[in-house]
Amino acid sequence: METIKTNVLIIGSGPAGYTAALYTSRANLNPVLYEGHQPGGQLTITTEVENFPGYPEGTTGTQLMDDIRRQAIRFGADVRSGIITSVDFSKRPFKAITDSGDEIEAQSVIISTGASAKFLGLPDEQKYMGLGVSACATCDGFFYRGKRVAVVGGGDTACEEALYLSNIASDVFMIVRKDHLRASKVMQQRVLDKPNIRVLFNTNTAGLYGEEFLEGAHLVENKGTDLEQHNDVALDGFFLAIGHKPNTDIFKGQIDLDEQGYIITDGHSTATNVEGVFAAGDVADPHYRQAITAAGSGCRAALDVERFLAL
Ligand code: NDP
């Protein structure tokens, strides 16, 4: 069991965390960063990233995260694998415990734990998890070559997942609860142009079925109207892409969260209600949720920490 003392503890490793590590290490603050459950964050389970400035030909999420990580390490950031399991923000130095039992004493903290995929809440989702149900097309799409799959959701993530799967699976159904897609126009057009993607508007999922593995979904069209219709669709894969939940469980009771669990920051900075604790990236951003905005807020958190420690 080790006790690690640091000026800055960074919790989480997406674009926000790595950028905060890059800036605080260049400011000689010797940050310690814990990468958490999913090193590199959500971008490592995405496909192409075409909208991060500086990559005119696009790049992959994994490559982008590896680039920023290496950039931070080059300036001395101490990037560690491991999970922070609890924190104590009641007094400084702040305390945190890792999954291997180490204790960290930190003069300041940047929380960049991101957000995780949401599920519909159907009991069958857990039953068929790994047996047909997934929340990551790039992780699991490979298993559905030439098969029939569905993607639930109508946002950019759902479109991206459907497009990815359309190059592997024979048929892709998009299950969209409204009569329109929420995704950006360019993504909508790409989906509508794909001959093997069929968008099922005004459709909800009532349940899943199958013996051992998933074999299909019970769908309800125009729910609650005179036109309500129940259909079963045969499927081998069912992919969730309905948004995200902020990863803030360990901070409950320690800092202020909004009703959805996002960390509340002071409008003009990344400061939380606890002096010396800052938040960056998707964990504090229900609105923009882009790699570039997360990276930008990681930079802002690092500058806020620098000023705080200089006081
Ligand atoms: P969004 O919140 O944008 O979309 C969620 C989708 O899931 C909506 O269509 C929503 O429907 C639907 N949904 C939510 N809950 C349910 C439910 N219980 N049952 C059925 N459908 C449901 O999330 P995304 O993850 O798609 O995107 C998050 C952010 O990240 C956005 O700002 C997006 O633009 C961005 N993004 C950008 C990408 C890029 O630029 N390359 C790639 C991926 C994401 P409804 O519309 O009815 O609410």
Q: What is the pLDDT of residues 70-92, one digit of tens each?
A: 999 999 999 999 999 999 999 99
- The answer to whether 29 touches 309, Cβ cutoff 8 Å, is yes
What is the predicted pLDDT for the residue at 275? 98
The residue nearest atom 7 of ligand 1, judged by CA position, is 242
User: Where do the H-state alpha helices sit in 217-257?
Assistant: none
Our answer to whether residue 258 is catalytic in this structure is no
Question: Which residues pair with residue 221 across a beta bridge?
Answer: 203, 229
What is the predicted pLDDT for the residue at 208? 97
Rounded to whole angstroms, the Cα distance separating 209 from 218 reads: 8
- Determine the 3-state secondary structure of 148 from DSSP: strand
What is the predicted pLDDT for the residue at 43? 83
Query: CA dihedral in degrees (41, 45, 46, 51; nearest 10)?
Result: 20
Our answer to whether residue 139 is catalytic in this structure is yes
Rounded to whole angstroms, the Cα distance separating 184 from 173 reads: 19
Sequence-separated (6 or more) residues with CB below 8 Å from residue 193: none
- The answer to whether 166 touches 144, Cβ cutoff 8 Å, is no
Distance 156 CA to ligand 1 centre (A): 6
The residue nearest atom 21 of ligand 1, judged by CA position, is 153
What is the predicted pLDDT for the residue at 268? 86
Distance 182 CA to ligand 1 centre (A): 7
Rounded to whole angstroms, the Cα distance separating 93 from 118 reads: 34
What is the predicted pLDDT for the residue at 288? 87
* Residue among 104, 122, 129 at smallest CA distance from 10: 104
Q: Is the peptide bond before 31 cis (omega within 30 degrees of 0)?
A: no
Distance 152 CA to ligand 1 centre (A): 10
Distance 52 CA to ligand 1 centre (A): 19
* Residue among 71, 87, 15, 49 at smallest CA distance from 282: 15
- For a mutational test of ligand 1's pocket, the pick from 188, 242, 282, i.e. the residue with the most ligand atoms closer than 8 A to its C-beta, is 242
The residue nearest atom 29 of ligand 1, judged by CA position, is 289
Helices (runs of H) and strands (runs of E) counted in the chain = 7, 19
Q: What does DSSP say about strands 171-175 and 197-200: parallel, antiparallel, or unpaired?
A: parallel
The low-confidence residues of the chain, meaning pLDDT below 50, are: none
* Residue among 261, 263, 219, 259 at smallest CA distance from 244: 261
What is the predicted pLDDT for the residue at 131? 92
* Residue among 13, 112, 22 at smallest CA distance from 72: 22
Rounded to whole angstroms, the Cα distance separating 178 from 163 reads: 20
- The answer to whether 196 touches 166, Cβ cutoff 8 Å, is yes
Pocket of ligand 1 (CB under 6 A): 51, 120, 152-158, 160, 177-178, 182, 242-244, 289
Phi, psi of 137 (to 5 degrees): -65, -40
What is the predicted pLDDT for the residue at 44? 82
